[in-house]
Homo-oligomer: A and B are copies of this chain.
Amino acid sequence: MNEITFAVLGTGGIGRRALEVSQHKDALTPVAACDRHGVAVDFDGLDVDELLAATEGNIDNEVATDGGTGATTAESGVKQHGERKGVVASSQARPSEDPIQEVIDHGDRIDAVLLALPNYEHDFIPRTADRFAEGDYSGVMIDVLKRSRVIDMLDDRSEAFEDAGITFICGAGATPGLLTGAAALAAQSFVEVTDIDIWWGVGLKSGYEDNRGTVREDIAHLPEYDIETARELSEDEIEAIIDDHDGVIEFEDMEHADDVLLERAGICDAEDVEVGGILDVRNDEKPTTTTVRVTGRTFDGETATNTFQLGDETSMEANVNGPALGYLKAGVRRNRAGEYGVFGPADLMPGF
């Protein structure tokens, strides 16, 4: 594996942390970053320190309504500290009417594109992928999406990705992502997996401002909401929901893509996967220990449960971004070997 260049679409919490974590990885160079206000491109490598410092607190948490054309000019929701909004507060960036197209236009020098775009319409990531495929991009695209139904939309595009030479890695954050991969690995002890239980804890006090989009997306998993109604909530309404729960929201039986990602890798049936967790936005301590339990039957007839637990001190950001970059590298390896189409985290693990 030689040097890998990558672009980040979206400079909210996930995109920013991905840039930061990439500085710890050898042979990985961030060369482009954009939000809907502008784009920064530098094939010698972005100055991540400058970009993060200049845009600190300048996070655009606005929900996109433009379907990924990049042409929206809605301005509310941008946390603006300087004169310029979003990524263009960095001296490396410039405003753009269509920042995504600018990344596509440079696609021949970009090995991988990280779609750090939570909280948009369901089809936003698939439609963004369409634009890359139509724009003759051939490389890796990777997202950290959570919703099961989006995987199907990506699968519908599998042939187009294969024709374009795109290796699309979906659901490659913490969960789905790190925990999905851990489940796939833990399943290797068994000849039949009967249950996979993914239970996460996130404490987000100090990261709350940077992760409002993620919190909104989580609220959409509550029984009273869906992604459309959650998208229409005002910031005040979200605060009210958080207050109602005293800052601690518990989720059960979430529609989380882990289920379909494990089924497509042949690990178990989607219906045998359960995902839930507890979000605490008022403490940084995790309200519960993130745990994956994989129960199955061994070839010699025993039933057992293998367990994977994340240390409570690991933040959501650490568990999303390290794995996302790891899966990105695995995707580049596949891409360079000529393997195109749609892959989930479990597809990238050793195993049958």
What residues make up the interface of A, taking CB atoms closer than 8 Å to B? 17, 20-21, 24-26, 28, 178, 181-182, 185-186, 188-192, 266, 295, 298-300, 302-315, 317-319, 321-323, 325-327, 329-330, 334, 337-339, 345, 348-352
A123 to chain B, nearest CB (A): 27
A269 to chain B, nearest CB (A): 15
Q: Are B299 and A190 in contact (CB under 8 A)?
A: no
Q: Are B349 and A322 in contact (CB under 8 A)?
A: no
With a cutoff of 8 Å between Cβ atoms, the chain B residues found around residue A28 in the complex are 352
12 contacts between A and B (CB under 8 A): A182-B308, A189-B318, A190-B318, A298-B315, A300-B318, A303-B313, A304-B313, A325-B352, A329-B352, A337-B338, A348-B350, A349-B349
**Taking the full assembly, how many copies of this chain does it contain?**
2
Q: Are A322 and B189 in contact (CB under 8 A)?
A: yes
With a cutoff of 8 Å between Cβ atoms, the chain B residues found around residue A352 in the complex are 25-26, 28, 325-326, 329
Q: In the bound complex, what is the Cα–Cα distance between A17 and B26 (angstroms)?
A: 40
With a cutoff of 8 Å between Cβ atoms, the chain B residues found around residue A300 in the complex are 315, 317-318
Q: Are A350 and B330 in contact (CB under 8 A)?
A: yes
Return the chain B residue nearest A329 by Cβ.
B352
Q: Given known contacts A189-B311, A300-B317, A337-B337, what 19 new A-B pairs fall within 8 Å (CB)?
A: A24-B299, A26-B352, A178-B189, A182-B308, A185-B185, A186-B308, A189-B314, A190-B322, A295-B311, A299-B318, A302-B315, A302-B318, A304-B312, A306-B308, A307-B311, A308-B309, A337-B338, A348-B350, A349-B350
A140 to chain B, nearest CB (A): 12
Q: In the bound complex, what is the Cα–Cα distance between A334 and B348 (angstroms)?
A: 12
Q: Are B337 and A350 in contact (CB under 8 A)?
A: no
Q: In the bound complex, what is the Cα–Cα distance between A266 and B322 (angstroms)?
A: 14
Question: Contacts A302-B318, A306-B311 given: A182-B181 contact, CB under 8 Å?
Answer: no
With a cutoff of 8 Å between Cβ atoms, the chain B residues found around residue A189 in the complex are 178, 310-311, 314, 318-319, 322-323
Question: Contacts A26-B352, A309-B306 given: A298-B318 contact, CB under 8 Å?
Answer: yes
Our pick among B20, B303, B311 for the contact of A304 (Cβ within 8 Å) is B311
**Considering residues A182, A188, A190, A321, which has the most beta carbons from chain B within 10 angstroms of its beta carbon?**
A188
A255 to chain B, nearest CB (A): 24
